[in-house]
Amino acid sequence: MSSIMKKEIFEEPSVIQNLIKNYVEQNREIKLKLPDKVDNIVIVASGSSYNCAAIAAPLFIEYAGIPCAYEYSSEFILQKKHFITENSLYIFVSQSGETSDTLNALKKIKEKGVKTMCITNAKDSAMWKLCDYQILSDAGEEKSIASTKALTAQIFCSILVMLKLIAKKGEDISGYLNTMRRLSEYLESITNDFEKISQAANLTAQYNNISILGNKNYYPIAKEGALKMKETCYLNVMAYPFGEFMHGHVAVLNQKSIVIAIIDEENAEFAIKNLEKIKKQYNPKVITITSVENVKSGDINIYIKTKRKMKAIFGSLLSLQLMACEMANLLDKNPDSPRGLTKVVKD
């Protein structure tokens, strides 16, 4: 069964191409307006946009050297105090620009006189009008309730903000931009190699106890993969950091289980060691999504070939999106209109 969700996932390479065209000049200047100085960033969002925040925040810290926190909009509203410096930038991420919790969080922090930015797919939305700085994620209309291409666009825009901040420090970002320019072609290669992803979806759809594991930047990707499977398949899928999973959570594997593991160069030794321990003690089925060659730890191994973290982030995300969509079709669920969910949560 074809779906709008699958069509929109397959549009992600062209969304990336469009964003590069919109925001990156031939002279490698990034066309974004930012404050002159930023020494503290807080990203506020809900749902998939929160996972965008969780993916982006460690990148700001690692590459730009700027402290970056991220918070759920609904929790942000309830907090009485927030860490603010003279050069703080609070970034609000929302596909619609009308998400109630995120909008209320924005209104609350604006009362403090803080510089604000939005990343949204809706120009002239309420959030767009309220923020000091605006970035249009420009993914085109997303009809499927489970966000895919809009989320990919949000993450890409977050990376552009990070690169702009690095450039403001006088550092050379040409290498990063070359990686970003090749991202569209890279994602295209993954969509063209759909067979392994389909096999993984067929296997995973047979289970009700599904755990997705990832370290560092890949833990929020694991969370987003779990969210997509929850939204489209109505399964209680859980995501964990690899190490934390071994502290008690691993007991869920005493039931009939499948584990999906995201493995990259940085965590390969640690992840494979833990997977071998898991298989020896609990013998679950295992699927790996890996950018590391010759990983054979899974019953099915999806190889997303790259040595670049920023590409592997998008490659692992795309693979999980496609798995969730394919699983929904196999389970005879409509991935485009899940029961009880709406595209925008306004109250």
Confidence check: pLDDT of 10 > 50:
yes
Confidence check: pLDDT of 346 > 80:
no
Confidence of residue 192 (pLDDT cuts 50, 70, 90): confident
Angle CA 288–289–291, to nearest 5: 120
Average pLDDT over residues 317-331: 97
Tell me the three state secondary structure of residue 203: helix
- Alpha-carbon distance of 39 to 128, in angstroms, equals 23
Confidence of residue 347 (pLDDT cuts 50, 70, 90): very low
Confidence check: pLDDT of 109 > 90:
yes
Edge-to-edge order in the sheet of strand 285-290: 238-240, 210-213, 258-263, 285-290, 300-303
Buried b (16+ CB within 10 A) or exposed e, 201-239: bebbbebebbbbbbbebbbbbbbbbbbbbbbbbebebbb
Confidence check: pLDDT of 134 > 50:
yes
Q: What are phi and psi of 185, to 5 degrees?
A: -65, -40
Residue 63 per-residue DSSP state: I
The pLDDT score that the predictor gives to residue 61 is 97
Structural domains of the chain sorted by starting position, each given as residue range(s) with its CATH number in brackets: 4-181 (3.40.50.10490), 189-330 (3.40.50.10490)
- Alpha-carbon distance of 75 to 85, in angstroms, equals 20
The pLDDT score that the predictor gives to residue 342 is 67
Are the beta carbons of 264 and 306 closer than 8 angstroms?
no
H/E stretch holding 288: strand 285-290
- Alpha-carbon distance of 140 to 137, in angstroms, equals 9
In the chain, the percentage of residues whose pLDDT exceeds 70 is: 97
- Alpha-carbon distance of 324 to 309, in angstroms, equals 23
